[in-house]
Amino acid sequence: MIVKSNRELKALYHELSGGDVFIGNLSLKYLKQTMLIDMLERDIHCLPSALAQVLNSSKVAQAFALKDWMLPHTREISRRSDLIEALNAYHQHGIGPVVTKQDGMHCGHGIRRWETMETLYSFMALDESAYPFVLQPFQEQFADVRCIIVGDYVEAYTRQNPHNFRVNITLGGTSSVYDLDAHQEAFCRVVMQRGKFPFAHLDLMVLENDKCYLSEIALNGGIKGAQIGREELDQKKMALLEKMAGLIA
């Protein structure tokens, strides 16, 4: 059996058995992880994968699982002791300004710059609700590149904002076409393979020395600045998932 919507999944959930396939991103917020684990245990296939869906919903989970591809010294911070350890390590490496990324916030709204780790720690002593979050050094100069990869379809564009270090187009940024080279595309596909993403919107930090790092990854993301339209992109994604489902069923 192949199930193609959340409504259909909810209606048939307890009838599913090993080998069945669910195509779609689970939208049941509070039951999502429970259902993904339950389906894995029952050998029900999820497309996109359960891992991709979990990583898609959490910047902190991405910093944990995909740290090897991110800016050096990127950390996931889930409690005060993590922050103290990070404060010691950052001071040891002479790292000054830092950036935090709040989990569950998008379009650049959850990104904050702090001039020192001590400033961040002092603030967090008064606001426990801000945990968990991603912590990384502030990078002054880099190209912010948004890549969209669905099967053989690949396109990329840069985002710039001279008035705000948050380059998101929704926050006033502009875009231009970017020529993604073979090394950068291979980098993206390795990240996708690790996270079991069948397709992805990836944000890359490309430094002046051409070093490439992952900022974040998503199953779906904004396409302002992209050449492809939303309808065509969604069709490509669904065609890829249906092809994968056909190979399983």
**At 121, which CATH number?**
3.30.1490.20
pLDDT surpassing 70 at residue 110: yes
Residue 22 lies in a domain: yes
Q: Are residues 12 and 104 both part of a single domain?
A: no
Cis link prior to 132 (omega < 30° from 0)? yes
Task: Give residue 9's domain range.
Answer: 2-47
- 90 in a structural domain: yes
Same domain, residue pair 160 and 103: no
In this structure, what CATH number is given to the domain that contains residue 238?
Answer: 3.30.470.20
In this model, does residue 52 exceed pLDDT 80? yes
Q: Whole-number mean pLDDT of the chain?
A: 91
Question: Is there a domain that residue 54 lies in?
Answer: no
Decide if pLDDT at 166 tops 90.
no
End-of-domain residue from the set 137, 159, 178: 137
pLDDT value at residue 140? 85
Confidence class for position 107, pLDDT limits 50, 70, 90: low
Higher pLDDT, 214 or 105: 214
Average pLDDT of the segment spanning 54-83: 96
- Under 8 Å CB-to-CB from 44, ≥6 apart: which residues? 16, 17, 18, 19, 20, 21, 22
pLDDT in tens, 176-218: 899 999 999 999 999 999 999 999 999 999 998 989 999 999 9
Prediction pTM value: 0.91
pLDDT digits (tens, 9 = 90+) for 26-43: 987 788 999 999 999 999
Q: How confident is the model at residue 169 (pLDDT cuts 50, 70, 90)?
A: low
Q: Three-class SS string for 36-87?
A: HHHHHHCCCEEECCHHHHHHHCCHHHHHHHCHHHECCCCEEECCHHHHHHHH
- What does the pLDDT look like over 74-98, one tens digit per residue? 999 999 999 999 999 999 999 999 9
Domain count along the chain: 3
125 within domain boundaries: yes
